[in-house]
Amino acid sequence: MPDTETAPYEVLFEDQSHGYPNPLPTPNDLDGSEVLLDDSASIRLAKVQEKFVMKFGVHVDPIEAHNMLHVTKSTMVPIPKVYAIYQRPKGRKAITYILMQYVPGETLMNLWGSLDQARKTAIARTLRTYFDQLRQLPHPGYFGNIMGGPPLDDMFSATVGASEVIKTSVATEDEFIDAIVRIYSFETGERTAHKLRYYQHVLSTHLRGNDAPVFTHSDFQRKNILVQPDGTLVIIDWEFASWYPTYWEYATATFANAGWYDDWHDYVRITLDEYPNQSLWLSSMKHEMWG
């Protein structure tokens, strides 16, 4: 396990009903833990005391845990239980630590090639019940994250000028579309000036849902679905979840299926309502921005 500091930390949240007989693990208990993921210093995942995992790093945000707490409180969707959120200063930044339930299993990505059509269909239909529950959550009247800030998708957090374009949630789908177009302009600059005018003309009509935000995972990929030994499907990695237009889940899932090298999309359309037009518009813009 990479060295961790033994230093003061702040407890942002602690589950008082966890029923665990011993004190919950803290950041100071990470030394000697089994590494499950090590993305340098930005995001790490370690198994702690057999029953827990700790996700931590400067790119881990407390809002990911709050997304999970909201889903657990409001739905029956199987996700890892959140036990605590810690934070420790590191220079001008902070390291966030999310203590979660350890969920044994394999990712759907690892298992997919070994599954037959019937099993794949059953998985897609089960996942459909999960996403239907998310879509039925009462919305807060805005497009953005659950704390009232901007959406957490990379388009709104990791692109040039995004923090200047959208500083908080937006109330309408028209404002949401306008933010996307402005971020596209910041990211691509003069090389797409003519295309920008085209997008300004057509997207207000064609990049639309039903005007109401829906709670969205926003990173629906097989690597984020765990299959437990008993067959239960568990959704992980809630860092991008926010209130988005109805098409967003399908569009991001389609964009993430960049290789189209197998039959995964045949089952995405069982799990999610299809929005092919909106998906194509967004994919085109993202390829121009990041390609």
Q: How many Å apart are CA 19 and CA 237, to the nearest integer?
A: 25
Q: Return the DSSP state at 245.
A: -
Per-residue pLDDT for 191 more than 90?
no
Distances in Å between the Cα of 40 and the Cα atoms of 2, 113, 185, 224 are 9, 30, 31, 20
What is the mean predicted confidence (pLDDT) over 232-239? 98
Who's near 267: CB < 8 A, 6+ residues apart? 120, 121, 123, 124
pLDDT in the model for residue 2: 45
Q: Mean pLDDT over residues 146-154, rounded?
A: 96
| pLDDT band (50, 70, 90) for residue 161 | confident
Report how far residue 206's alpha carbon sits from residue 57's, in angstroms, rounded to the nearest whole number: 39
Give pLDDT, residue 259: 81
Of the pLDDT bands very low, low, confident and very high (cuts 50, 70, 90), residue 201 is very high
Percent of the chain whose predicted confidence (pLDDT) is above 90: 79
pLDDT score recorded for residue 219: 97
pTM exceeds 0.75, yes or no:
yes
pLDDT (tens digit per residue) in 202-232: 999 999 999 999 999 999 999 999 999 999 9
Distance of CA 46 to the CA centre of its chain: 19
Give pLDDT tens digits for 9-44.
Answer: 999 999 988 677 788 999 999 887 778 877 666 789
pLDDT in tens, 38-95: 766 678 999 999 899 999 999 999 999 999 999 999 999 999 999 999 999 888 889 9
Mean pLDDT of 111-127: 98
- Averaged confidence pLDDT in the chain: 92
pLDDT at residue 41, rounded to an integer: 61
The H or E element containing residue 241 is none
Is 153 in contact with 176 (CB distance < 8 Å)?
Answer: no
Residue 277 has pLDDT above 50, yes or no: yes
Looking at residue 3, its pLDDT comes to 47
Mean pLDDT of 263-268: 96
Tell me the domains of the chain and their CATH numbers: 10-101 (3.30.200), 103-291 (3.90.1200.10)
Q: DSSP 3-state assignment of 11? A: strand
DSSP state of 191: G
Mean pLDDT, residues 230-252: 98
Quick one: pLDDT band at residue 1, thresholds 50, 70, 90?
A: very low
What is the structure's pLDDT at 158? 82
Distances (CA, A) of 243 to 139, 151, 158, 173: 7, 7, 18, 11
Instruction: Give residue 262's pLDDT.
Output: 95
Q: What share of the chain is helix, strand, coil (3-state, %, to 5)?
A: 40, 20, 40
pLDDT exceeds 90 at position 5 = no
According to the model, what pLDDT value does residue 174 have? Answer: 96
CB neighbourhood size of 67 (10 A): 25
Find all residues with CB under 8 Å of 115, minimum gap 6, and list them.
123
233/243 Cα distance (integer angstroms): 23
